Amino acid sequence: MGLLGTIILLIFIFLWCNPVLKRHREMSGYIDRKTELKALLFGLFPATVVLLLCQFALGWLFKLAQIDNNGILICFMRAFIMYGIVEEAVKYGFACLVVRRFERLKKIDIMLIFGFVGMGYEIAETLMIGNLIAGIGRGIFVAHIMYQFIMGHFFYESVHAKDMGDEAMAGKNMILSLAIPMLIHGINDLFCEISGIYIDRVPKSGWADAPKSLTAFILVCISMIIFTNAFCLIWGLKLTQKDPDVEIQFPLPERRHKT
């Protein structure tokens, strides 16, 4: 099931990302397929391993603190700390490792580098979940890629502002490049966590015997998940169309390894 879900995911990745890649080729961006593959592998292997270790450590700490595993507090902590803050920070770090190799990049270059790191992690996580329905849902929205497109947009805005000498705007956009994906990711996973707990409370006899209030609450959570992911999909793809050919230069000498 996990493999079938991943195949469906890859089909949707092609549908959503192929127009962006085509636009990138038309604009003669600075990154090549080798760079795209490197970013993908960063998300697929080291980023996944680091995230699993971090999540294991945090899960152990939550258990040590004797936090109720079926409570709202643990849902909030897992969603915003494990999946929001830690996950997005790790993907940000690995994307920066690729970006730092270049002296000059176009905006669409940066967004693709971040997006490929998110794509690698999206594939790895879908394989690990091993759930066909989850694979279909993740495929339709490719949320991790969209989080990274949004992150890459604000990262570009930060470097561009720094090139223009506006340190205040550069700092603001650098914060947004991390804060917005962390917040959206946390909100999405919070509803996923809560809906999972309440779905387990549905009677074994089926949904027909479930209280109407329980059914309504679960439907609200699922609706919020769909809305959040759809919002990210539309926003992320739109950001790839906003000034994609504008170039920026990285001012730090240690970044000037490749043109």
**Per-residue pLDDT reduced to its tens digit, 11-55:** 999 999 999 999 999 999 999 999 999 999 999 998 888 888 888
Buried b (16+ CB within 10 A) or exposed e, 152-176: bbbbbbbbbbbeeeeeeebeebbeb
Read off the pLDDT band of 134 (50, 70, 90).
confident
- For residues 243 and 130, which has the higher predicted lDDT (pLDDT)? 243
Q: What is the mean pLDDT of the chain?
A: 90
CA distances from 248 to 45, 60, 211, 252, 255 (A): 29, 43, 57, 12, 13
pLDDT at site 251: 58
Average pLDDT over residues 171-198: 95
- For residues 214 and 135, which has the higher predicted lDDT (pLDDT)? 214
Q: What is the CA radius of gyration of the chain?
A: 19
For helices 33-44 and 46-64, give the axis angle rounded to 10 degrees: 20
Q: What is the pLDDT of residues 197-221, one digit of tens each?
A: 898 889 888 888 889 999 999 999 9
Q: What is the pLDDT of residues 231-245, one digit of tens each?
A: 999 999 999 999 999
Rounded distance between C-alpha atoms, residue 197 and residue 179, angstroms: 27
Rounded distance between C-alpha atoms, residue 55 and residue 49, angstroms: 10
pLDDT at site 255: 42
Signed CA dihedral, 75, 77, 82, 87: sign only: positive
Among candidate residues 134, 25, 166, 145, the one with its CA nearest the CA of residue 95: 145
Q: Where are the domains of the chain?
A: 13-252
